[in-house]
Amino acid sequence: MKSIKYFGLLLILPLITMALTTNYIIEADAEKGKGVPSSSYGSKNKGIVCGDRLCSEIPGDKDAIKNEKPVSSTVPTPKNPSMTSPKSEKMEDKSMTTMQDQTELGSVLKLSRANVPATIPLHQGFYNSSDVFYIITDSSEQKHVDLITEQQGWKVELASLLANAPKEALSTTYLFTNGVKGDGIHGFQVQVFTATPAQTETYSALTSHVHVTWNQGATPVVLKSEQEIMDAEKSGKITLSPLSVVINMPQIIWPEGQMMVKEDKTLSDDTPYGGGQILDINTKEMTVTFVAHRGWGPDGKSIYYIVTDATPSGPAEMMGVTSTPTSAKLIANSAAVDLFQFTNGIKGSGPMGFQPGIAAGAPGDANYSPMWRIFVVDWKDPTDAALLQTTDDINFYANEGKINVNLARPMDSDHIVNCPFIDPFQ
């Protein structure tokens, strides 16, 4: 019921229409802060199903994911068959397996393994001398992708677009390049954060970084706060070097609290989005287990994603994730990419109770980002609803006047969700 309330909120609160016909989708200008046009949304890595290792390195999962077909109780047929593109017809033929009377049951599409557990390494850091526990999912720069992936034994995705995020949408983290040996990214002491979710006006899971280097002749000690770092710099003990890299480091536990853990830990294809996104936090084993949700990339291939934080506060609370007002700064920035969710049509395992959503970028694409600008898609006549699996499908039906595509504005506010795409089977 919580998920119903959340997605009902998206429906009943004002939506600002951005004239989102195919003209908007195709003519969006990334250089002017409109994001990446969907005419360039096609995946450049045709071998990827979900992340770089989901299908290539996990025994048994390649065939399982590649060959799985959504199960449908009903396949809706558009009133005018000529309105269906050849690509859509092929996808519907491949995706649907069962036909029943639509008037009796309605259209239903359920993806198998729509919700699965994803166990992710935890890292420990400091904020004002207290412990912070967090995960690392994405980096704007390949060097840190490779470094962190090797260190934590869990794949970090390259999200080059994060480098475009404005300063106002970032918090700052200090990384140590020498000194006291430890579990930090570079093999020395752990990272120091400048904000936690308790500092709502300054916290962001997206972090800019400053290298901390102990000067020759100085005696290294563990620094646990920004103030201690500033004092050490002032006394000539360390040198600070800002980096251009942006890393997605959502905090799971901080001094004043932690992310919500689901009470009902049983996962099924019908598990609702409400009530939290985490199944377990284990600070002894240094792992956190998220619910990974299944959807589609821009070219119709399967993807899985987790949800860590969102703005505004209403949707964040309903999903049980961290509220991050700073993310609103990305609404017109190319660091955020479009994610399309459906408000009617074919019922299914999507977050609003209908078919799964479609992302405008996927891991391996130049325009992948974990930060998603949410659009809602609704069929003007739900009886016309067909299964859409690609951004080309969305363009086609928008151009034909069959669907409306609008920017989601829950609470009459900018809506950005941090949904890193991951491989839950690694």
The answer to the question of residue 193 being in a domain is yes
Q: Which residues contact 59 (CB under 8 A, 6 or more apart)?
A: none
The answer to the question of residue 138 being in a domain is yes
Q: Which residues contact 214 (CB under 8 A, 6 or more apart)?
A: 178, 179, 220, 237, 238
**pLDDT tier at 111, thresholds 50, 70, 90:** confident
pLDDT of residue 109: 78
**pLDDT for residue 165 is more than 60:** yes
Within this chain, do residues 126 and 110 fall inside the same structural domain, yes or no? no
State the Cα–Cα distance between residues 286 and 58, nearest whole angstrom.
Answer: 22
The answer to the question of residue 64 being in a domain is yes
Among 91-95, 105-109, 210-214, 228-232, the least confident range: 91-95
Within this chain, do residues 398 and 361 fall inside the same structural domain, yes or no? yes
**pLDDT for residue 220 is more than 70:** yes
Within this chain, do residues 146 and 277 fall inside the same structural domain, yes or no? no
User: For 129-146, what is each residue's pLDDT tens digit?
Assistant: 999 999 999 999 999 999
Q: Which of 193, 226, 254 is the last residue of a domain?
A: 254
Within this chain, do residues 32 and 92 fall inside the same structural domain, yes or no? yes
DSSP states of 133-171: EE---EESSHHHHHHHHHHHTSPPEE-GGGGG--GGG-E
Mean of the per-residue pLDDT values for the chain?
81
The answer to the question of residue 262 being in a domain is no
**Residue appearing with tokens 């002491």:** 189
What average pLDDT does this structure show over 186-199?
A: 97
**pLDDT for residue 181 is more than 90:** yes
Task: Count CB neighbours of 366 within 10 A.
Answer: 12
What average pLDDT does this structure show over 181-188?
A: 96
Within this chain, do residues 213 and 358 fall inside the same structural domain, yes or no? no
Within this chain, do residues 134 and 272 fall inside the same structural domain, yes or no? no
Within this chain, do residues 82 and 22 fall inside the same structural domain, yes or no? yes
**pLDDT for residue 35 is more than 80:** no
The answer to the question of residue 259 being in a domain is no
**pLDDT for residue 58 is more than 70:** no
Within this chain, do residues 240 and 128 fall inside the same structural domain, yes or no? yes
Among 34-38, 217-221, 299-303, the least confident range: 34-38
Within this chain, do residues 289 and 391 fall inside the same structural domain, yes or no? yes
**pLDDT for residue 39 is more than 80:** no
**pLDDT for residue 60 is more than 50:** no
Q: Which of 209, 226, 254 is the last residue of a domain?
A: 254
SS3 content of the chain, % helix, strand, coil (to 5): 25, 30, 50
The answer to the question of residue 287 being in a domain is yes
Within this chain, do residues 296 and 155 fall inside the same structural domain, yes or no? no
**pLDDT for residue 298 is more than 80:** yes
Between 261 and 352, the more confident residue is 261
Between 246 and 13, the more confident residue is 246
The answer to the question of residue 301 being in a domain is yes
**pLDDT for residue 8 is more than 60:** no
Are 262 and 276 spatial neighbours (Cβ–Cβ below 8 Å)?
Answer: yes
**pLDDT for residue 413 is more than 70:** yes
pLDDT of residue 59: 37
Q: Which of 208, 233, 254 is the last residue of a domain?
A: 254
Domain that holds residue 42: 2-116+267-422
> How many domains does one find in the chain?
2
The answer to the question of residue 208 being in a domain is yes
Within this chain, do residues 223 and 290 fall inside the same structural domain, yes or no? no
Within this chain, do residues 326 and 355 fall inside the same structural domain, yes or no? yes
pTM for the structure as a whole:
0.78
User: For 222-279, what is each residue's pLDDT tens digit?
Assistant: 999 999 999 999 999 999 999 999 999 999 999 999 999 999 999 998 888 889 999 9
